[in-house]
Homo-oligomer: A and B are copies of this chain.
Amino acid sequence: MDTEKEFLSNYHIEDYERPSVTADVAAFMIRTEDKTSYRKNPENKLLLLLIRRGAHPFKDMWALPGGFLQKGETVEECALREIAEETTVKPVSILPVGVFSEPDRDPRGWIISNAYASIISEESVRQTGCDDAADAQWFAVSFTCSADGNYLLTLEYEDIRLEAVLAAEKTRFGRTTFRILESGGLAFDHAAIIAAALSALRGEAKNYEAVFDFLPETFTLTAMQKVQETIMNVSVLPANFRRMVSAYVEETDEYVRGEGHRPARLYKRKK
């Protein structure tokens, strides 16, 4: 009968075949567009960071930032590291989306991916400017349910337009998985990962958690509502929105002036 110590010294973990493990990150940002009139409030756009692959496989196609898990870090730390390497900004928060482990999902071999959604604040990007590299760009996101029950994921940056089609498959427990019908020029199974990340993000925006992460320290309630509506792709009456978030925010004494209409009070998140 071995002792535990003896057992461990004789144990060779290398004897078993193992997969490679990666973390892939869908990094979202909301950009405030330019005003169309001196008195109109600006629109918002939901953006997703994609990297143009410089190497095979899927060379020159667009993919989520991500990379291999390194010894000594957790998968979550790996996701944070990868997003930091690509953007130079620290994500406000990070949300697990799922594990993608279909054996044939990567032509390089047996590689399973831990997917995360992360939220990057517009503020932090404006400060450090992270999209100067031509191979990393923020794409405008559209994700809608089409008439035939499939989902259409559209990603646009200047004249580049990626259109993926996904079949939504309801699994147990109200979860939905997405099967790629057309990848739309996205590498690997990243179209499915992006769809899952968007679903997760929308789920978390319901309780306003995710909404705050897109916003600066202080914000107007209208700005908050626009963020919520941009993520969720629905609209609410302003009066009702104010009532619903009133428990989560607190007033400051400051106002936004000079907008061509009544000044809006700034709020901050209630701890």
> A-side interface residues toward B, CB under 8 Å?
2-4, 7-8, 11, 13, 16-21, 55-59, 68-69, 71-76, 93-96, 98-99, 101-103, 107-112, 114, 172-174, 204, 207, 209-210, 213
Interface-centre pick from A19, A95, A96 (highest chain B CB count, 10 A): A19
Are the C-beta atoms of A174 and B207 separated by less than 8 Å?
yes
Contacts of A20 in B (CB 8 A): 13, 16, 18
Are the C-beta atoms of B71 and A103 separated by less than 8 Å?
yes
A23, chain B: closest CB distance, angstroms: 10
Q: Which residue of B lies closest to A20 (CB)?
A: B18
Other A-B contacts than A73-B103, A74-B103, A95-B172, 15 sampled, CB-CB below 8 A, are A4-B56, A4-B59, A8-B107, A8-B108, A11-B56, A13-B20, A17-B71, A18-B18, A18-B20, A19-B21, A19-B69, A21-B21, A71-B103, A93-B172, A94-B172
Are the C-beta atoms of B173 and A210 separated by less than 8 Å?
yes
C-alpha gap A104/B132 in the complex (Å):
38
A-B CB proximity, top 7 nearest:
A7-B56, A13-B109, A74-B101, A93-B172, A18-B18, A75-B101, A4-B56
Are the C-beta atoms of B4 and A93 separated by less than 8 Å?
no
Given contacts A8-B57, A75-B99, A174-B209, contact A13 B108 (CB under 8 A): yes
Q: Is the interface of A mostly helix, strand, loop or mixed?
A: loop
A200, chain B: closest CB distance, angstroms: 9
Q: Which residue of B lies closest to A103 (CB)?
A: B72
**CB<8 Å pairs between A and B, sample of 21:** A3-B56, A4-B57, A7-B57, A8-B107, A8-B108, A11-B56, A13-B20, A13-B109, A16-B68, A18-B18, A18-B19, A21-B21, A69-B101, A75-B101, A75-B112, A96-B98, A96-B99, A99-B114, A173-B209, A174-B204, A174-B207
Are the C-beta atoms of A112 and B7 separated by less than 8 Å?
no
C-alpha gap A57/B4 in the complex (Å):
6
C-alpha gap A240/B233 in the complex (Å):
34
C-alpha gap A35/B96 in the complex (Å):
44
Are the C-beta atoms of B172 and A209 separated by less than 8 Å?
yes
C-alpha gap A108/B5 in the complex (Å):
10
Interface-centre pick from A56, A59, A98, A207 (highest chain B CB count, 10 A): A56
Contacts of A207 in B (CB 8 A): 174
Are the C-beta atoms of A13 and B173 separated by less than 8 Å?
no
